[in-house]
Amino acid sequence: MARINIDLPATFTFATTISVRVSDINYGGHMGNDALLSILHEARMQFLQKSGYSELDVAGKSLIMADVAIAYKGEAFRGDMLTIQVAAQDFNKYGFDVVYEVKNQDLKLIALAKTGMVCFNYQNRTMVSLPVEVEQKLSGF
C-alpha cells in the first residue's frame, strides 16, 4: 500500500502548543485520529488569526477544507504538550495547502499533516478566487 508523503517547508512561519486532553484519548489509550484533526483545526485557526484572518474572513472571502492527509509517526497521550508548527504553501488560483508538523514535549514526532484549503462562497456554494494579498501574508509573517 502506498503511503502518504507530505512535503514540509524548510522553515515554518508559526507554532503553537496545545495539550492533549482526556477527551482526546480513544479506546487504544492514546490520542484518537479525530482529536488530532481537531487540534490541527485549532492550530490553523491560530495561524490565520496571527495574519488577521479567520476561516470565514480571509481578505473578504471564506475558506473550506477540500482535503486532509495525516501521516501518523508516533502516539500522543493525555497530558502531552504538542507543539504544532504550521505553514502555508502550494498557493493556486482557488486556495492553498496548510502543512503541519506535530511533536510532543520530548520532541518526538507525532504526525505530519496537510489540509487543502479552498476559497468558498457559502451563499452561492461555489469556489471563488483566492485574493492576491493572502499568499503574500501567509507565506511569511
Encode pLDDT of 65-96 as tens digits: 999 999 999 999 999 999 999 999 999 999 99
Asked if the model's pLDDT at residue 60 lies above 70, the reply is yes
3-class DSSP state for residue 102?
strand
Provide the β-strand partners of residue 116: 67, 97
pLDDT tens for 31-51 read 999 999 999 999 999 999 999
pLDDT at position 1, please? 74
CA distance 31 to 15: 20
- Looking from the CA of 59 toward its CB, the CA atoms found within 13 Å total 14
> Going by CATH, does the domain composed of 14-138 fall within 3.10.129.10?
yes
Q: Are 84 and 101 in contact (CB under 8 A)?
A: yes
pLDDT value of position 83: 98
Say if residue 108's pLDDT is above 80: yes
User: pLDDT by residue (tens digit) across 15-32?
Assistant: 999 999 999 999 999 999
Residue 86: predicted pLDDT: 98
The pTM for the full model equals 0.94
Q: Mean pLDDT in the chain?
A: 95
Q: Where are the domains of the chain?
A: 14-138
Residue 88 main-chain phi, psi, to 5 deg: -105, 145
Pairing of strands 95-103, 14-19: unpaired
